[in-house]
Amino acid sequence: MTKPTLNQIVNDALEDIKGIDILELDVRELTSIVDTMVIATGTSSRQVKALADNVEKKAKEAGFRPLSSEGRDSADWILIDFGDIAVHLMLPEARELYDLERLWSKISRRESGK
């Protein structure tokens, strides 16, 4: 059995808590700060926090530790930084306002799980 990648762990953790519109963006050609951005939407602040908690829990269980996490106070946008992967968990209003998909539209993107 092969060890799951951090990308797989993050996507599975988001699907466990019913994250909406999970999107994985490969940004290696555009920035040296991060390789992959994962974006997902939650229906409420409570769900956004639950998504973040599950991502961190599952990652830690597999031996991956986040470098930092921001936004838990308001929970309209939580960012979890794993170094190579940045996980953006947002309420629908924040996702529409910041429109990270459009911002990074010049890159190839693929929906999680496909």
**Mean pLDDT of successive 10-residue stretches along the chain, which has 114 residues:** 84 97 91 93 97 98 97 94 97 96 65 42
Pick from 48, 51, 59: which is nearest to 92 by CA? Answer: 48
Q: Do the strands 36-41 and 20-26 form a parallel or antiparallel pair, or are they unpaired?
A: antiparallel
pLDDT given at position 41: 98
What is the set of domains in the chain, with CATH numbers?
Answer: 6-103 (3.30.460.10)
pLDDT given at position 2: 61
pLDDT given at position 77: 97
